[in-house]
Amino acid sequence: MGSRPLKNDIGFTLLELLIIASIIAIIAALAIPQLLNARRSAWENRCKLTLRAIGSAELAYFDATIENTYGTFEAMLSTQLVQPGYSRSSLIDNYSIMLWDVDPPTMTFGGLPAYDSSFTIIAIPRSQRNKLRTFGICDDQTLRVFVGRMENFENTFGLKDPKRWEPLR
């Protein structure tokens, strides 16, 4: 008489399934922060590239105008150096243009400018949840990053002199 096997060999045991689930959980715990850092880095790189492009568009506007001044956001839209349909909050993904300041040259009595026109553009993250950094560009075409706490942004030299921010290469 043949004996019937007592154990069913089809499938996995509960212990084997728990070990596989724990291995997958460990791999996910190691991989998810790296993926979030890569996404944050991609957003920051897109912001930096867009600010550099805006700086180049400002130079093109400066060369195209007789007054030798830089353009405001509205002036850049009217000359189509910035594509129509964009606003300050939609120009850069996950960022808002907080400041787009243009200083026209001051004229002296002789009609010569006392100093050149200048511009400052600052992009701030829409949410601090992603831990994105704040970037700015000025008329010297150097991209800079604000180092410090965002709570101190208004109180420190944040808006007063972005040329004192940390330059990026």
pLDDT tens per residue across all 169 residues of the chain = 556 666 666 788 999 999 999 999 999 999 999 999 999 999 999 999 988 888 888 888 888 887 778 888 888 888 877 777 788 778 888 888 888 888 776 665 565 555 567 888 888 888 877 788 888 888 888 888 887 665 555 555 455 567 777 888 6
pTM for this prediction? 0.72
Q: Where does residue 79 fall: left (phi above 0), alpha (psi -120 to 50 degrees), or beta otherwise?
A: alpha
Distance separating alpha carbons of residues 125 and 47, to the nearest angstrom? 10
Residue 140 lies in a domain: yes
Residue 1 lies in a domain: no
Token code pair at residue 28: 């996910």
Question: What strands lie across the sheet with 166-167, from one edge to the other?
Answer: 95-103, 118-125, 135-138, 143-145, 166-167
Residue 157 lies in a domain: yes
Residue 35 lies in a domain: yes
Residue 144 lies in a domain: yes
Residue 117 lies in a domain: yes
Residue 19 lies in a domain: yes
The residue segments making up the domain with residue 87 are: 14-167
Residue 97 lies in a domain: yes
Number of domains in the chain: 1
pLDDT at position 78: 82
